Homo-oligomer: A and B are copies of this chain.
Amino acid sequence: MSTHPRAESLMVREKLVKAFEEGVVTTAGLIAHGRGECFDYIIGEKTRSFAFKAEKTAVAALLLADHPVISLNGNATALAVKEFIELARLVNAKIEVNLFYKSFRRIKTIARTLEENGWTEVYGVNKNVCATIPEISSLRCEVDSRGLYIADTVLLSIEDGDRTIVFRKMGKNVIAIDLNPFSRTSLWASITIVDNIIRAVPNMVSIAKTLRSEDKPRLKEILEDYSNTETLKEAVSLINSRLGLFALKGTFDLNVLENDGEKAYLNGR
Q: How many residues on chain A are close to B (CB under 8 Å)?
A: 38
A35 touches which of B37, B184, B254 (Cβ 8 Å): B37
Are B182 and A246 interface neighbours, CB within 8 A? yes
For A92-118 the 0/1 string (1 means CB < 8 A from B) is 000000000000000000000000000
Contacts of A247 in B (CB 8 A): 233, 236-237, 240
Contacts of A16 in B (CB 8 A): 31
Q: Report if A23 contacts B (CB, 8 A).
A: no
For A33-72 the 0/1 string (1 means CB < 8 A from B) is 1111111010000000000000000000000000000000
Nearest CB of chain B from residue A196's CB, rounded to whole Å? 14
- Bound Cα distance A31, B18 (Å): 13
A28 touches which of B5, B13, B41, B187 (Cβ 8 Å): B13
A180 touches which of B35, B38, B184, B239 (Cβ 8 Å): B38
- Bound Cα distance A39, B41 (Å): 11
Query: Which A160-209 residues sit within 8 Å CB-CB of chain B?
Result: 180-182, 184, 186-187
Q: Report if A32 contacts B (CB, 8 A).
A: yes
Are A246 and B236 interface neighbours, CB within 8 A? yes
Q: Report if A244 contacts B (CB, 8 A).
A: yes
Are A239 and B233 interface neighbours, CB within 8 A? no
Nearest CB of chain B from residue A1's CB, rounded to whole Å? 10
Nearest CB of chain B from residue A17's CB, rounded to whole Å? 5
Knowing A31-B13, A31-B31, the reply to whether A232 touches B244 (Cβ < 8 A) is: no
Knowing A27-B20, A34-B33, the reply to whether A244 touches B250 (Cβ < 8 A) is: no
